[in-house]
A and B are shown apart, each in its own frame.
Chain A
Amino acid sequence: MLKYFAKRIVLGLVTIWFIASATFFGMHAVPGDPLAGDKAMTAQIRANLEAKYGLDQPLGTQYLIYLGNIAQGDFGISFTQENRRVNDIIREHFPISATLGILAIVFAGLGGVLWGALTALYRNRWPDVVIMFLVILGISVPSFVVAAISQWSLVGLNLATGTAVLPIGGWGTVWHMLVPALVLGLSTMAYLTRLMRSSMLEVVSTDYIRTAKAKGLPATQIFSRHQLRNAILPVVTVLGPAIAGITTGGFVVEIVFAIPGLGRYFVQAIQQLDYTVIMGTTVFYGAFLVFMVILVDLVYGFIDPRVRVEK
C-alpha cells in the first residue's frame, strides 16, 4: 500500500515536471514579447527589465532557473502588475476558488447520491422520470448559460421582493457563495446522479442483497446498510476527475458572478499575456489536480478494502 502510493507520488512529481516543461516551452514559443507593451522604452530600460526578469539568459539557463524556482515553490513576479509576486496572487485568490469548489463538490456529491438513490428506488416511476429528465438537462446546458439564467432569476427575485434576497454577484458572505456553488456543481451533480443510479441498480441484483432480503431485514435497513454503501463506491472514484472539472468550470462562474477567484485571474492573465502568472497558475493547478487524484485514490483505499488487497 505504502509502496504503491510512494510510486504514485513520484509519478505525480514527474507529471508536474512534464506540465511545467510543457508550459515553459509553450509560453516561450508564443510570438511576441512580454515587454513589448504599450510603453515605449529605451534600449537601456529594456536591458534592465530583461535582466530583472532573467530574459537576457539563454533559454536553457532560463529553464533551469525556472525549474529551480518551482522546486522551491517560487513562481516569480507578475509582468503586468509591478512587483506583485505570483505566489501572492495565488495565495490571495486561490482560497476563494477552493472554497467555491469545495462547496460545489459538497453540493454535487450530496445531491448526486441523494437523487441517484431516489431514482433507483423509484425506478421507472414519476420521480425517476422527472429527475432523469432534469439530469439530462443539467448535462446538456452549458455552465455559462446556467450561470447566466440563475443570475437573471436572482435579479428577478430581488426585483419582485423589493429587497436583496441573495446578492447577484461578488464575494464575502456565505450568501454570496450559495448560488455560484450550486451552479458550479450542477453538471457534476447530474453526472453523479446518473452514475449513482446505474450503480444502485447494479447493486440491487447482487447476491448479498438477496441474502439480506432472505434473512428478513427490513427494506430501510437493506437500503441504508447494504445498497447505499456499496453503490457509493463508483461515485467516490470519479470525484478526482470531478474536482478537475469543477476547478476549470469555476472560470465561468467566477466571471459571471464577479468572484475574485484564481480562475478569473488566470483568464485575465492570458488576455494580458502575463507570462509568469500564466505559467505559475498552470503549474499550480496542474500540481493541485495531480495530488487531488492521488488523494481520492488514497481515500478510496480506506473506503473499499478490496482495492487495498488488489494493489
Chain B
Amino acid sequence: MSTSHLTPADFQPLQGSVSGQQISRPSLSYWADAWRRLQDNPRAMASMGLIAFLLAFVSVGPYLWQVDPSVQDLDQIGIGPGADRSVTLAPPFQPWLPEQQSTILADNAMGLTLTMPATTQAVRLMWARADGERYRLYRNLFDPSDTGSFGLPLAELDRSYFEDRLDLQAGTYFYSLVMLDANGAETATAITQTVNVTRVISVAEAIERGLIKTEAEAQLGQELKLAWHPLGTDYLGRDMLARLMYGGQVSLFIGIFAPLAFVLLGVIYGSVAGFLGGATDQAMMRFADFVVALPFLLFMILFKVIFGIGPGESGIWPMLVAMIILLWPAPARLVRGQILQIREEGYVSASRLLGGTTSYVVGRHMLPNTLGVILVTMTFQVPSAIFTEAFLSFIGMGVAPPTPSWGAMCNEGIKSMLTRPHELMFPALLISITVLAFNLLGDGLRDALDARMRGTE
C-alpha cells in the first residue's frame, strides 16, 4: 500500500503561483492578426514576392541593364532571345559589275546561281537567259513548297542577274525565279534557290558600334559578337528587356496610382455621403449611379480624345485622369455602405457620448474600420487598371509611341506574331503575371482582413 507515503504536506492547499488571468501570448491588434493570417497563406505570400520582384524589375532594372529603350540596333531587328549574334568582319560593300562570262552557272533548270557567298551586304544572283525572256524574282522567309507562296516580289527583270540589298537579315531566304510569258503572266517555269545569308560588318561599322577599337586590330574574316539582347529586339531593333522595364514603369504606374487616386476620391465621397445621410446622401449617390452607368471603356476613350495628346506627350496623364473621373463611384458606394453600417454601431455612439467630435469619430473609428474593405478593393482594382491601360494601348488609344508600355508593346507585337512571337509573348506574359499576382494578393487580403468572407471562395 502506497498510501503510507503520503505526508500532511500533500494536503496543503496549493499556492496561487499560476495566475489564470495571465495572457500567455501577446495581444494581437487587428492588423497584426491579419498579417499573421496573410503569412499563413502561401499563395498570397508568393504573390507578394512576385509583386516585389516586378517592382524591382521596373525600378532597379533600368540601372542594372543600362540600355536605352529607344535606341535601334539596326543589325539585329526583330531577333528572338538567344539568337546568334556572331558577325564576320568583311571588306566594305563594293558595287557589283556582273560579268556573265566569268561565272559558271549552276546546273539547274534555269541556271540560277548564287555568285558569291550571301551576306547581309548583298545577295547576288545570276541565271541563264535567252534573248527576249523576262522574269519575276521573289524572296520568301519560308519554303515556297510548304507555304505555296513565292513571297515578296523583288523585281521584274529582262536581264540575267540581280543584286538584292533589301533589308537583309542573317538567316535563310528562298529566292524564286519565275519566267514570264509575252503578256507578262507567270509561266510554270520557276526555280527556287535556298540562300543562307551570313551577317557581315565592315571595319568602319564595327568601330562605330564599338565592337573593335582601332582599325589596326581588325582582321578580315574575324568573328565578332554584336550587342547582346537577352530577350531579343522588337520590329525596330529596340532592346526588348529595356523596353519591358520602361514599359513596366508606365503600366505599373497607371496600375497602382490610378486605383490609389480613385479609391481615395471614392472614400472621401462615400464617407461624406454616408456620414451626412438624408437628402444629401441620396443626391450624391444618384450622381454616382449616373457615372457608373456610363459605358466605361467608351468614355475612357472619349476622355482621352477630349484631353488630347500633344506632340511629344506620352498620354499617361490623360489616361490617369480619365480613370479617376470614371471609376470613383464603385469604392464610393462601398465605403458609403460601410459607413452607414458603422454609424449605427455601439462604439460610435459611445465615442460620441464621450465627447468625440465628428472628425474624431470619422477618423478614429469609421475609416479604420472600413480600411480593410478599402484595401481589398484597391488590390482588386490594380489588375483592372492594368488591363484598361493595356486594352487602350492595344487599340491605339493609350500611351503614344515611342513611350513603351506593356499594352502598347503587345499592340506592336501582335502584328508580327507569326514570325516573331517573342515580341508579343514577353509583354503579354508580364501583364498576365502582374494581374495574377495582384488577384492572388487580393484574395489573400480578403481572406485575412474579412473574417466573414473567409473560405467562401
- Mark A175-209 against chain B: 1 for CB-CB distance below 8 A, else 0: 00000000000000000001001100110000000
A18-B436 in contact (CB<8A): no
B162 in the interface, Cβ–Cβ < 8 Å?
A: no
Contacts of B396 in A (CB 8 A): 267, 271
Report how far A136 CA is from B435 CA in the complex, Å. Answer: 10
**B326, chain A: closest CB distance, angstroms:** 10
A289 in the interface, Cβ–Cβ < 8 Å?
A: yes
**B320, chain A: closest CB distance, angstroms:** 17
B395-A140 in contact (CB<8A): no
Contacts of A27 in B (CB 8 A): 302, 305-306
CB within 8 Å for A252 and B293 given contacts A145-B432, A201-B456: no
**B323, chain A: closest CB distance, angstroms:** 15
Report how far A194 CA is from B396 CA in the complex, Å. Answer: 32
Contacts of A285 in B (CB 8 A): 295, 298
B302-A23 in contact (CB<8A): yes
- Looking at B19-27, B66-74, B235-243, B416-424, the stretch in contact with chain A turns out to be B416-424
Report how far A281 CA is from B299 CA in the complex, Å. Answer: 11
A152-B295 in contact (CB<8A): no
B57 in the interface, Cβ–Cβ < 8 Å?
A: no
Contacts of A194 in B (CB 8 A): 457
Among residues 23 to 40 in chain A, which have CB atoms less than 8 Å away from a CB atom of chain B? Answer: 23, 26-27, 29-31
Contacts of B390 in A (CB 8 A): 142, 144
B299-A152 in contact (CB<8A): no
B439 in the interface, Cβ–Cβ < 8 Å?
A: yes
**A167, chain B: closest CB distance, angstroms:** 16
CB within 8 Å for A141 and B296 given contacts A136-B439, A282-B302: no
- Mark A190-233 against chain B: 1 for CB-CB distance below 8 A, else 0: 00001001100110000000000000000000000000000000
B334 in the interface, Cβ–Cβ < 8 Å?
A: no
Among residues 250 to 275 in chain A, which have CB atoms less than 8 Å away from a CB atom of chain B? Answer: 251-252, 255-256, 266-267, 270-271, 273
**B135, chain A: closest CB distance, angstroms:** 29
The closest CB in chain B to the CB of A29 belongs to B306
B340 in the interface, Cβ–Cβ < 8 Å?
A: no
A295 in the interface, Cβ–Cβ < 8 Å?
A: no
A198-B397 in contact (CB<8A): no
Q: How many residues of B contact A (CB 8 A)?
A: 40
A148-B414 in contact (CB<8A): yes
Contacts of B436 in A (CB 8 A): 136-137, 140
Number of A-B contacts (CB under 8 A): 123
B306-A26 in contact (CB<8A): yes
B313 in the interface, Cβ–Cβ < 8 Å?
A: no
Report how far A270 CA is from B308 CA in the complex, Å. Answer: 12
B439-A139 in contact (CB<8A): yes
Partner of B303, one of A26, A148, A248: A26
A270-B305 in contact (CB<8A): yes
Partner of B302, one of A145, A271, A278: A278
Partner of A30, one of B294, B306, B383, B410: B306
B305-A18 in contact (CB<8A): no
CB within 8 Å for A248 and B298 given contacts A141-B432, A198-B457: yes
Partner of B289, one of A15, A19, A148, A198: A15
- Mark A57-99 against chain B: 1 for CB-CB distance below 8 A, else 0: 0000000000000000000000000000000000000000000
Report how far A195 CA is from B109 CA in the complex, Å. Answer: 67
**B72, chain A: closest CB distance, angstroms:** 25
B290 in the interface, Cβ–Cβ < 8 Å?
A: yes
Contacts of B383 in A (CB 8 A): 139-140
- Mark A142-168 against chain B: 1 for CB-CB distance below 8 A, else 0: 111100100110010000000000000
B308-A155 in contact (CB<8A): no
A47 in the interface, Cβ–Cβ < 8 Å?
A: no
Contacts of B432 in A (CB 8 A): 137, 140-142, 145
Contacts of A102 in B (CB 8 A): none
B387 in the interface, Cβ–Cβ < 8 Å?
A: yes
B456-A198 in contact (CB<8A): yes
B428 in the interface, Cβ–Cβ < 8 Å?
A: yes
B175 in the interface, Cβ–Cβ < 8 Å?
A: no
Report how far A251 CA is from B418 CA in the complex, Å. Answer: 22
Report how far A19 CA is from B167 CA in the complex, Å. Answer: 50
Report how far A144 CA is from B428 CA in the complex, Å. Answer: 9
B305-A289 in contact (CB<8A): no
B414-A22 in contact (CB<8A): no
Report how far A19 CA is from B296 CA in the complex, Å. Answer: 11
A112 in the interface, Cβ–Cβ < 8 Å?
A: no
B294-A286 in contact (CB<8A): yes
Q: Which residues of B contact A (CB under 8 A)?
A: 289-290, 293-299, 301-303, 305-306, 308, 383, 387, 390-391, 394-397, 407, 410, 414, 417-418, 421, 424, 428, 431-433, 435-436, 439-440, 456-457
Name 7 interchain pairs, CB-CB below 8 A, sorted by A.
A18-B290, A136-B440, A140-B383, A148-B417, A194-B457, A251-B395, A267-B397
Nearest first, the 10 closest Cβ-Cβ pairs linking A and B are A140-B436, A145-B428, A248-B297, A140-B435, A15-B293, A18-B290, A141-B432, A140-B432, A198-B456, A282-B298
Beyond the given A144-B394, A144-B410, A289-B293, please list 12 additional residue pairs across the A-B interface where CB-CB is below 8 A: A15-B293, A18-B290, A18-B294, A26-B299, A141-B428, A142-B390, A247-B295, A267-B395, A270-B301, A281-B298, A282-B295, A286-B293
